[in-house]
Amino acid sequence: MRLVAPIQSRVNNRQGGCLVAVAAALLTCSPAVANEKAVSPHSASHAPAFHNGDWPFRPPQRPTPPDVADASSVINPIDNFILARLEGAGLRPSPLADKLTLLRRVSFDLVGLPPTVEQQAAFLADDRPDAYERLVDRLLASPSYGERAAQFWLDLVRYAETDGFKADDLRPNAHKYRNFVIRALNDDLPYDRFLAWQLAGDELDPQNPAALAATGYVRLYPDEYNAANLEQRRQEILDDITATTSLAFLGLTMGCAQCHDHKFDDIAQADYFRLQAFFTPVVARDDVPDASPEEILEYRRRLADWEAATAEVRAEIDRLLEPKRQQQREYGLGKFRQEIRDAVAVPAGERSAYQEQIARMALKQAEPKDKDLVAKLSAEEKQRYEELQAKLKEFDPVRPSPLPTLMAAGDVGRTAPVTWLLAGGDWHKPADEVIPGFPAFLGEASAEVGSPTTGSESTGRRSALARWLARADHPLTSRVIVNRLWQQHFGVGIVATANDFGAQGELPTHPELLDWLAVELVDRGWSLKHLHRLMVTSATYRQTSRVDLSPAEAAAAKERDPQNRLLWHARRRRLEGEAIRDAMLAVSGELNPAMYGPSVRPELPAGMSRSSAWPPDERPADRQRRSVYVLAKRNLHYPLFEAFDQPDMHHSCPRRAETTTAPQSLVLLNGELAIAEARRWADRLLSARHHDLLAVISGAYREAFARAAGDDEIEAATQFIHQQIRTSGESTPEAATAAAVADFCHALLNANEFLYVD
Amino acid sequence: MSIDQPAHRVVPRSRREFLLKAGGGFGALALASLTAKNVLAREASAVADPLAARPPHFATRAKSVIWCFLDGGPSHIDLFDPKPELSRLDGQPLPDSFGRPVTAMGRTAYTPLLASRRQFRQHGQSGTWVSDWYPEIARHVDEMAVIRSCYADGLNHVGSVCQMNTGSILGGRPCLGSWAIYGLGSENADLPGFVVLADYPEEPPGGNRNWGTGFMPATFQGTKFREGESPILYLAPPAAGGQRQRAKLDFIQQLNRRHRQERAEDDQLEARIAAYELAYRMQAAAPEAVDLKGETDQTLRLYGIDQKETQRMGRNCLLARRLVERGVRFVQIYSGSGSKWDAHSNVEGNHARYCRESDLPIAGLLADLKQRGLLESTLVIWGGEFGRTPMSESGNGRDHNPYGFTMWLAGGGVRGGATYGATDALGLYAVENKVHVHDLHATILHLLGLDHEALTFPHNGQDERLTMVSGRVVEAILS
């Protein structure tokens, strides 16, 4: 029989590595376009000691930090590695940034918020030699740290709270996965456990609600639950999970091997499907309680009592509805092909694993809701139904309220469906059967999947994958994650292509440093906070971002390392949309620091698409929560985030683009958020500073830019405010001043100094 | 160090140079750019502008694209692909020789065939077949290349609209318009290079993903124009708190210039200063572009803007011409936005309405482009995400048909009067000279002077391209 339209032959006629001149010019000349490949590879003279043919597929060994000629600026071993390369290239590091610049930088990097005036004063007043280290410890201990650090992870796993596709339905419990990530990072959950729980928390720690919430990772694929071609949909989901897992945890582009052996890396198509085999038994689980074992036990006991008490009433309700239910289910199943209907027709306990997966997907669509059935009852039946419902209601006082549930994943049972190597990656061209296994090029193709534990309804495949990834000597896991942390603090990873450690990726600028950090992570119990601390307390991190060298030195440095890949100065970066919004709320004083919970819905501009726009939260305070809590909707991005390069939530995003566009200016100039926060900020400043304009101006500078205003700046601001007062058209001097100061504050929120971090 | 001490000193070393680059303020620069056709604005920006116009891979005629997207899937067998055999078999089941296609509604693989109730006639010098639903468009057949053998991979709207735009039925890839401006930039610095227009408030299925950039930077995304005088989100300052913007803008730039003086090496800061200037210019340029007051009554009539049924689509078609005239690279117009062409029942009533709404406006667009000498340099595309089945649905409707359907191209570089490819006797499957969506995309890029295999963007280890791993230029429809 004919299935979908013939799929194009999947010959790989890709122009390997060939960028057209236009595109190449665009990517290398324009710093406005940040992309993984936008950073041109360092020149041959900077080439690392070994070729990446072997690297990074052997376990990292801890190298000895190299000696450097001038050790006076070394703070920790990171600096030895950086300095050695700089000295080798005849370059010098830049001087350290001043205290306030550093404070602002490290605050945005670790907690995603600007330092308050009090924090600025306290840090300036702290003369102890380890004042900076104490600051870093305070920031890492702050709950805001997890809210900041989570965003990188959420980008990587293409986190969203809706399905995408046309319906873009809400996933009501998706936020619990996000909250798991924030909590885990705040608790410094060791990274090996962090990743293992996401892949297989249900198998590894089935009593632990946090581990179960973590399996939400497996559910983050875009989905169309009402697809007609379920077999294709199932395969697309598996491909999505396989590609994302490979990118996020392994830093490998194994998705390229879906249709054919990898063109550039030694990844066979079989490797791809062996990796996929760990996930083929997966089913969506929306019934997993978000509760402790004790709570679950208690709930089940009370539920059983209620069920016993209401057995008769419920049985009669069932008898009334059942004929309609069957009719409606049959009608709903009519849209599927015969094979799918056949799978559903097999009684539940007798289906094969594959039939069970498909049947569940079909029934999710076809199973009618009770209220729709009631509408189909005769008048007489309906009356009886209502009587029964009333009777049932009498038992409500002893009915336990349902436990909250998670968006979780599980296996279809103890037996996995067959995993097929698909010819050309095409779902209806199964070729060979494959079993779970690790990429052959990493040295060991076969996976040891222990037999499932007694009582478990799971194959144990995902925990086998998790155990392998979490091995201390895994060649990629630790390197890939420390590289991501490095990118967060230094702008570009040691391997610039953070999701591609393969041959098509960039060579590492400092391979020994990467290995040193990787071993350090494992030796310190996979503590991410320890690595953050090491990085941000290094002298390398503390350099100024200004090119503060003599003209001759600056010219030489720019010639030898124009991209600053050797880190002879700090890299200035633009805030992400989320951080811009948080910073605006922070300076205005309106930021609501409440943590966790379901997502929030800030106001949207008028005229957004009717079908996808959300109604804003009723309580204004809810609209002023941190950006990480704003509803992540695949088909409608919050306009400010969208303008500032929020990823599209469909693919793993290892590093955000950093574009500079006119719509960004419009959203800050004319968007309701910036204007409203400027107004609130102005009102707060005016009342706190008793309407003393000079105090208002210098206070605003400190809050927005974490520095004092210069005399010329105070003068310019004063002039501007007076000019705005003159032209305000307000009826009272107070109102005119308030409007003018709001304009001044609004201008500060638009200033480059607000949007960039030195 | 005291917190009240100035942290930075002002070093006014590059002020003069700066003023030369950035102009004396918004007003001066904006005026200059509007009068000097953007040249000054381009030169003012010290940073390479990712949207700066770039030459194509090879010389070509088409400079811009206007794509009329019939949202929901128009019935090719009632418009451009007459099927006498279908009339003969009206009411009978699909013959077994056709197999049982997978259809969106499932049941429609078994429902009776439904003959077209339309009258078909040959038109123009070329004798291209068009039904009586499109009398006005039929006058332009000699400019059009009709491809009757299109096919696609998706069955439902969201996947199929997504594929027609991005090449894949799964979301997350850049759309054709984004690839076009990634490759070619735009000719007008004061307007978005890629504009999307829709005739109804409902969005096409999948929403902004259809003009999104997927893994490419947002710079290349389409801008959906909103109705009214302020077509771009946040273009106009809000009524409350948005007044006296000019003075505010000048003050922002004053702050930015001082900030920049001490960071002379950072081009990004300069780029953002330029972005504010562009935003300001856009505030004037975009409302000017959508203001139809200067158009004559004759022009308005040509597009059907004087008639209730055609005014929505007519306005968008006229806007498209105005945008293309102003150098916008890519304009996409959704007709029946929100799957309105999706005639699962009553195809006669549904299509009569939406054909009426689109016929005169699209014909007017072709005529107007031609009389202004713009058709040579503008590629006009007509089509939906799929066609419709010869099998009936709900008695008098038709289901989705991605297996065979019609699209047509006209204008820059297209061989007018051509009819290419064929579906089977019932119009169910494309059977002759089949043209996949990737082939169509390859052809459109080719007409814009871009080689679909060379226009690549690196992403997660692959040099991605619009046509993924396939795509073939349909040479037969090139002039």
Tens of pLDDT along B438-470?
999 999 999 999 999 999 998 877 789 999 989
- Residue A486, token pair as written in the block: 């490095």
Kindly tell me if the per-residue pLDDT of B479 is higher than 80.
yes
Greatest mean pLDDT range, A420-434, B34-48, B123-137, B206-220:
B123-137
- Residue A743, token pair as written in the block: 């304009």
B7/A100 touch (CB, cutoff 8 Å), yes or no: yes
Q: What is the DSSP string of A684-747?
A: HHHHHTTT-HHHHHHHHHHHHHSSBPPHHHHHHHHHHHHHHHHT---SSHHHHHHHHHHHHHHH
Q: Which residue has the tokens 């099927």?
A: B83
Cα radius of gyration rounded to whole Å, chain A: 29
Please give the residue of chain A at the shortest CA–CA distance from B174.
A648
Q: Which residue has the tokens 């499957």?
A: B429
Residue closest to B217 by CA, chosen among B49, B381, B80, B90 = B49
d(C-alpha A75, C-alpha A55), whole Å: 28
Interface test with B, best of A231, A611, A651, A669 (most B CBs within 10 A): A669
- Residue B361, token pair as written in the block: 């406006």
CB pairs under 8 A between A and B: 353
Residues A405-416, mean pLDDT to the nearest whole number = 96
Q: How far is A107 from chain B (nearest CA, A)?
A: 17
Kindly tell me if the per-residue pLDDT of A37 is higher than 50.
no
- Residue A371, token pair as written in the block: 């209220």
d(C-alpha A238, C-alpha A273), whole Å: 10
Kindly tell me if the per-residue pLDDT of A42 is higher than 50.
no
Distance of CA A358 to the CA centre of its chain: 29
Q: How far is A181 from chain B (nearest CA, A)?
A: 24
Whether B438 contacts B467, CB under 8 Å: yes
Whether A108 contacts A704, CB under 8 Å: no
Chain B residues lying within 8 Å of A645, measured CB to CB: 217-218
Tens of pLDDT along B227-255?
777 788 898 887 655 557 889 999 999 99
Chain A residues lying within 8 Å of B465, measured CB to CB: 14
Residues B174-194, mean pLDDT to the nearest whole number = 94
Q: What is the pLDDT of residue B22?
A: 32
Interface test with B, best of A13, A670, A757 (most B CBs within 10 A): A670
Whether B279 contacts A669, CB under 8 Å: yes
DSSP 8-class letter at B76: G
Greatest mean pLDDT range, A250-259, A372-381, B67-76:
B67-76
Kindly tell me if the per-residue pLDDT of A31 is higher than 60.
no
d(C-alpha A605, C-alpha A671), whole Å: 8
Dihedral sign computed on CA atoms, order A413, A418, A420, A426: negative
Q: Nearest by CB to A2, from B2, B101, B247: name it.
A: B101
Residues B73-95, mean pLDDT to the nearest whole number = 97
Q: Nearest by CB to A8, from B272, B338, B470: name it.
A: B470
Whether A627 contacts A577, CB under 8 Å: yes
Residues A537-551, mean pLDDT to the nearest whole number = 91
Residue B345 has a CB neighbour count (10 Å cut-off) of: 14
- CA A69-A75-A77 angle, to 5 degrees, is 75
Chain B residues lying within 8 Å of A642, measured CB to CB: 218
- Percent of chain B scored above 90 by pLDDT? 67
SS3 state at B33: helix
Q: What is the pLDDT of residue B23?
A: 31
d(C-alpha A654, C-alpha A496), whole Å: 10
d(C-alpha B382, C-alpha A596), whole Å: 49
Tens of pLDDT along B292-338?
999 999 999 999 999 999 999 999 999 999 999 999 999 999 999 98
Q: Report the range of poorest mean pLDDT among A604-618, A661-675, A682-696.
A: A604-618
- Listed in order, strand segments (DSSP E) in B56-163 are 64-70, 120-123, 128-131, 144-151
DSSP 8-class letter at A562: T
pTM confidence score? 0.83
Q: What is the pLDDT of residue A444?
A: 67
Residues A147-154, mean pLDDT to the nearest whole number = 98
DSSP 8-class letter at A278: T
